[in-house]
Structure 1
Amino acid sequence: MVARPWSGHRSCHEGVPISARHPRTHVPSIAEAGAWAEVLVRHQLLHAAVLAPTGQWLVQQRPESPVRVLTGATAMVELAAEIQHRIRTTRNDIR
């Protein structure tokens, strides 16, 4: 049996990024980025995510991986979106 995309599904073809269905109308707040960071760490999708006093986020995928520096709240929310996209496309490949 071949899995078929659900109605309205848009896939990523040959590495071409998919534009958001509902583009953001506002810049993410530090609180929103913090909420996403907490969820990603709680669900073990990130090992660590720490807000630096400069407004940058220090994130680590796994305990042994290098620390990445994200420029701010927008970058943190974009990372969460990338992780969600990766999870969803991986699930579709498995089905």
Structure 2
Amino acid sequence: MVARPRSGHRSCHGGTSIPVRHPRTHVASVAEAGAWADVLVRHQLLHAAVLAPTGQWLVQHRPKTPVRVVAGATAMVDPAAEIQYRIRTTRNDTR
């Protein structure tokens, strides 16, 4: 059985569908950003991500690299969405 693209999806080479990346329709919450930070660290896509008392995130990509300051929950979630999108699109190309 071949998957058929649904509205808002694009077909890939193997016949599977990947949702087209759409801009966010809502502001990310601190809880959502925290969940994504945990996932990114657990899967070693980030070395560390810590919520500062100011609402900013301190992010370190690899050990011994500079710590970046990310302003707010949405700024923390957007890179996670980009990473997820990149992984999904490149994974299908390599299969």
**TM-score bucket of the superposed structures, by smaller chain:** 0.7 to 0.9
Runs of 4+ residues over 4 Å off in structure 1: 7-10
Tell me by how many angstroms 1:50 deviates.
Answer: 0.4
Question: What is the CA deviation profile of residues 68-95 of structure 1, one whole-angstrom value per residue up to 9, with x for unaligned ones?
Answer: 2111100111011011122112212312
TM-score, normalization by structure 1: 0.73
Aligned length: 84
Amino acid at match of 1:4: H
* Structure 1 spans left out of the alignment, 5+ residues: 11-17
Q: Percent identity?
A: 73
CA distance in 2, matches of 1:72, 1:51: 9
Tell me by how many angstroms 1:9 deviates.
Answer: 4.4
More strand by share: 2
Question: What is the CA deviation profile of residues 28-62 of structure 1, one whole-angstrom value per residue up to 9, with x for unaligned ones?
Answer: 11111111101111111111000111111111111
* Structure 2 spans left out of the alignment, 5+ residues: 1-11
Amino acid at match of 2:29: S
C-alpha RMSD of matched pairs (Å): 2.1
